[in-house]
Amino acid sequence: MNKIRILGAVAALSLTLAACGASTDSDSAESGKSGKLRIKFVINGNLGDRSFFDSAYAGLKKTEKDLGYSLKVVELGSDRTKWSSGFEDAASGDDYDVLAAGTVDTVGFISKLAPEYPDKKFWLFDGSVDYTGKSGCSNKCANVYSVTFKQNEAAYLAGFLADKLVAAKALPGSGGNGKVGVIGGVQIPVIEDFVIGFKAGFKAAGGNPSSGVLVQYVGGDNPFGDPAKGKQIASAMYGQGAELVWPVAGSSGLGAFESAVAAKRYTFGVDSDQFKTLTDASQRQTVVTSILKNAGNALYLAAKANKAGTLAYGKPAAVGLAENGVGYVDNANFDKLVPAAVRTELEAQAAKVKSGAVKVPSAF
Give the pLDDT confidence of 125-156 residue by residue, as tens digits. 999 999 998 877 888 999 999 999 999 999 99
CA-to-CA distance for 85 and 193, rounded, in angstroms?
30
Q: Which of 255, 319, 266, 323 is nearest to 290 (CA)?
A: 266
> Is the model's pLDDT at 4 over the cut of 80?
no
Residues 192 and 333 in one domain: yes
Q: Residue 314's closest CA among 158, 108, 124?
A: 124
H helices of 182-291, in order, are 189-204, 209-212, 227-239, 254-263, 274-277, 281-284
Report helix, strand or coil for 326: strand
Going by the DSSP 8-state scheme, the letter that residue 184 receives in this structure is E
- Is the pLDDT score of 31 beyond 80? no
> Does residue 363 lie in a domain region?
no
Pick from 48, 302, 335, 292: nearest CA to 153: 292
Q: Among residues 90, 167, 157, 101, which one has the least CA distance to residue 302?
A: 101
Query: Do residues 282 and 268 both lie within one domain?
Result: yes
Q: How many domains does the chain have?
A: 2
- The C-alpha atoms of residue 67 and residue 194 are separated, in whole angstroms, by 33
**Confidence check: pLDDT of 266 > 90:** yes
Q: Which residue has the higher pLDDT, 90 or 135?
A: 90
The alpha carbon dihedral of 295, 300, 303, 309 has a sign of negative
Check whether residue 345 and residue 207 sit in a common domain: yes
Please indicate whether residue 7 or residue 247 has the higher confidence score (pLDDT).
Answer: 247
280, part of any domain: yes
pLDDT value for 136: 78
Mark whether 186 and 259 lie in a shared domain: yes
Q: Mean pLDDT score of the chain, rounded to an integer?
A: 90
The 10 Å Cβ neighbour count of residue 1 is 4
Least confident of 17-31, 102-116, 224-238: 17-31
What's the whole-model pTM score?
Answer: 0.82
The answer to whether residue 24 scores a pLDDT higher than 60 is no
Q: Is residue 1 part of a domain?
A: no
Considering the domain architecture, whether residues 227 and 338 belong to the same structural domain is answered as yes
Both 34 and 52 in a single domain? yes
Degrees, nearest 5: CA angle 191-296-351: 70
Determine the 3-state secondary structure of 153 from DSSP: helix
362 belongs to a structural domain:
no
Tell me, yes or no, whether 121 and 230 share the same domain.
no
* 92-104 average pLDDT score: 97
- pLDDT tens string 59-77: 999 999 999 999 999 999 9
Let me know if residue 129 belongs to a domain: yes
In this structure, are residues 21 and 315 in contact, taking their beta carbons and an 8 Å threshold? yes
pLDDT category of residue 186 using cuts at 50, 70 and 90: very high
Residue 2 pLDDT exceeds 50: no
pLDDT (tens digit, 9 = 90+) per residue, 297-356? Answer: 999 999 999 999 999 999 999 999 988 889 999 999 999 999 999 999 999 999 999 999
**pLDDT for 29 beyond 60:** no
The per-residue pLDDT for 303 is 97
Q: Is 159 helix (H, G, I), strand (E, B) or coil?
A: helix
Q: Are residues 92 and 168 in the same domain?
A: no
Would 360 be classed as within a structural domain?
Answer: no
Q: What is the pLDDT of residue 323?
A: 85
State residue 76's pLDDT score: 97
Residues of the domain holding 84: 9-150+295-319
Answer with the residue of higher pLDDT: 9 or 131. 131
pLDDT, position 13: 44
Q: Specify the CATH number for the domain of residue 98.
A: 3.40.50.2300
> Is the domain of 301 the same as that of 175?
no
**Helix/strand number for the chain, H first, E second:** 14, 13
Centroid of chain to Cα 357: 24
CA gap 204, 182 in Å, rounded: 17
Q: Looking at 26-30, 111-115, 206-210, 269-273, which range is the least confident one?
A: 26-30
**Domain-located, residue 232:** yes
Stretch among 17-31, 151-165, 225-239, 267-281 having the lowest mean pLDDT: 17-31
For residues 199 and 214, the answer to whether their CB atoms sit within 8 Å is no
Both 20 and 145 in one domain: the answer is: yes
- For the chain, how far is it from start to end, CA to CA, in angstroms? 37
Please tell me the predicted confidence (pLDDT) of residue 26. Answer: 38
pLDDT tens for each residue of 242-258 = 999 999 999 999 999 99
22 has pLDDT over 90: no
Of all residues in the chain, the percent with pLDDT exceeding 90 is 83
Mean pLDDT of 106-123: 96
Residues 233 and 305 in one domain: no
Does the structure show a pLDDT above 70 at 20? no
d(CA 279, CA 300): 25
pLDDT category, 215, cuts 50, 70, 90?
Answer: very high
Q: What 3-state class would DSSP assign to 359? A: coil
**Does 276 lie in the same domain as 315?**
no
> Higher-confidence residue: 133 or 221?
221
Residue 21 has pLDDT above 70, yes or no: no
364 in any annotated domain: no
For residues 144 and 115, what is the distance between their CA atoms, to the nearest angstrom?
Answer: 9
